A and B are shown apart, each in its own frame.
Chain A
Amino acid sequence: MEFLKDPVAFIAGLLQNLSAALNLPPAVESILGTVIAVVVVASFGLVLVIPMIWVERKVAARFQDRLGPNRAGPYGLLQTFADMIKLITKENITPDGADKVPYNIAPVLSVVSVVMIWAVIPFSAIWIGSDLNVGVLYIAAVGSFGILSVLMAGWSSNNKYALLGAFRAVAQLVSYEVPLFMALLVPILLAGTMSVNGIVEAQSYGWFILAAPVPALIFFISSVAEIGRTPFDLLEAESEIVAGFHTEYTGMKFGMFFAGEFLHAFTISVLTAILFFGGWRGPGIEFSPLVGFFWLMAKGSAFYFLVMWIRTTLPRIRIDHMLAFNWKVLTPLSLVILMLTAVLDKVFAGDPLRVPVLLAANVVSLFVTLWLATSVSKRQQKDLQTFPTRPVAVPPASEAETSA
């Protein structure tokens, strides 16, 4: 029971008893505790990938009206293990003329950049890897390491298509960072702090989704573009550019890109839950931190389901449409909503009208954007060159009579 009340404190107590019994100096004990905590937080995400891949394949299959893997183990639960064993036992081919060091570091950097985000995610009110004062900014900074890994992978493969894929990937990733950062600023504004745990605790009076639905939407869309998922997966779609920047990667190196991408998808679902939907908040969190952990995972899984839903239903967007959507719709909208939120938050500070006014401002700006976008596209369609009607081939009337 005491273990359930606070598992981490229980284990810390065990560690202290152990070090007292072994007469370890306090420096070694604290380092040991830190190392164990780091290993737990870092492997949490990686171990989570294994059931997540199974869930992804099953859900995608059900959306496509089929069963999904159901041979390897009951309900196909061991399918991921089979895939991992296959990937590990594959031959690690390094292409001739490839730059060895960036080629080998790129998949590692890709996974590292995602696992580093888990250091600032609050699993509960008292469970957080490192409560940085600039936590949200740290998340944004670590995302840029992933971009670097894409460039390194594409360039070091000594493959024209990989390089082209890497260029397009980096163009997309860097472009979608702009509305992502501006949408990230809105919860910071509403909470008054950049610390991730501070943002969750500031949602005690109401989730930020009520005061800022449009930034949540922009954050979600930009994050889906950042992780390279459909509908933004032009970077690695097989029919488009072989496999994009990871064409030349085989075996476990590809496995690391693969696992990193899945973990990134789950990470942004958890981040959406934290920033806009209250994170670990929910009924019953006073009993044990485990309840908060459960709420966070439930909300994160709900958003991960949304990501999978979008992936299996929407078609791919072309790269120029993708970039046009970003620069012409998302960036101005995020700028406007940031300014509106900042002004209205200050004007109505402390007023109970604050949340409804912000909600109204969000809805109005969303409608204005949609109206502008549709009217522009209608005007563009009218401007399209109209062709003269072409003559249609009609069989002569006499042939029809003779054949009948």
Chain B
Amino acid sequence: MTPLQVIFLITAAVTLVAALAVVTRQNLVHAALFLVLSLFGVAVFFVLLEAEFLAVVQVIVYIGAIAILMIFAVMLTRKVASDDTVAANRNAGWAGLIAAGLFFILVIMLSAWSGFYTQAAELSRPGVDTADLGQAMLVELGEHLVSPQAYVIPFEVASVLLLAALIGSLVIAWPRIKKEA
């Protein structure tokens, strides 16, 4: 058991337990805090996969913005007396069966694939020594996001999407101007 494997197993256990807590807890603020924990676990996985930029972006975007937005929404929409109603709706049994079944189907189908057991190759770039590899990959990522031969169009479309979401959510959540009676 290499140290990386131990770290992987611990992080996977924490993330999955936190995710289970997210989908089962009645108290939604607790569920949101467990969501923060599982998102942080996913960030740790990104670091294990040697994508540090994505790990930091995960913390900034998910934990620093999305999770806080969810906690706000939970705090603004709670009815104090109803925290004792059951959290799951009447489809909970079927949902559990479907989820478990899907998991087993996925694992079985993936294990039949030849590439399932590939080990990680060393990261390398031609002409770059390993000390500068991280920086070189970061520069390459930035260039791919804005290069016309690469992904500039999806990048611009994503920015337009974010602008539309920004304006749309403002318009939707704007408090109604009360008309004089």
Residues of A within 8 A of B (CB): 99, 102, 132-134, 137-138, 140-145, 147-148, 151-152, 155, 163, 167, 170, 174, 177, 193-195, 198
Contact = CB atoms under 8 A, between A and B. Distances in A.
B56 A141 contact: yes
Contacts of B68: 144, 147-148, 151, 170, 174
Nearest to A131: B134
Contact of B59 (A144, A174, A193, A194): A144
Contacts of B67: 148
Given A141-B56, A141-B59, A155-B75, A134 B64 contact: no
A137 B71 CA distance: 23
Interface in B24-70: 29-30, 33, 36, 52-53, 56-57, 59-60, 63-65, 67-68
Chain B's interface size range is: 20 to 34
B135 interface: yes
B138 interface: yes
Q: Which 5 interchain pairs have the tightest Cβ spacing?
A: A144-B64, A141-B59, A133-B134, A137-B56, A141-B60
B161 to A, nearest CB: 18
Chain B interface SS verdict (over half) = helix
B72 interface: yes
Nearest to A102: B33
A177 B63 CA distance: 14
Contact of B56 (A99, A102, A138, A155): A138
Contact of A145 (B57, B63, B71): B63
A170 B135 contact: no
A140 B72 contact: no
A375 B52 CA distance: 46
Contacts of B29: 99, 102, 155
A167 to B, nearest CB: 8
A182 to B, nearest CB: 13
A99 B60 CA distance: 26
A155 B52 CA distance: 32
Nearest to B75: A155
Given A148-B36, A148-B63, A151-B68, A163 B56 contact: no
Contacts of A174: 65, 68
A155 B78 CA distance: 13
Contact of A134 (B36, B53, B75): B53
Nearest to B3: A27
Contacts of B138: 133-134, 194
B57 A137 contact: yes
A142 B60 CA distance: 8
Contacts of B64: 141, 143-144, 147, 177
Given A99-B29, A144-B68, 8 more contacts: A134-B52, A141-B60, A144-B65, A148-B63, A151-B72, A174-B65, A174-B68, A194-B138
29 contacts: A102-B33, A132-B52, A133-B52, A133-B134, A133-B135, A133-B138, A134-B52, A134-B56, A137-B53, A137-B56, A137-B60, A141-B59, A144-B60, A144-B64, A144-B68, A145-B63, A147-B64, A147-B68, A148-B67, A148-B68, A151-B68, A155-B71, A163-B75, A170-B68, A170-B72, A177-B64, A194-B138, A195-B135, A198-B135
Contacts of A163: 75
Contacts of B59: 141-142, 144
A147 B64 CA distance: 8
Nearest to A193: B135
Contacts of B71: 151, 155
A12 B66 CA distance: 43
A310 B167 CA distance: 36
Contacts of A177: 64
Nearest to B138: A133
A170 B33 CA distance: 16
A177 B135 CA distance: 25
A128 B69 CA distance: 34
Contacts of A148: 36, 63, 67-68
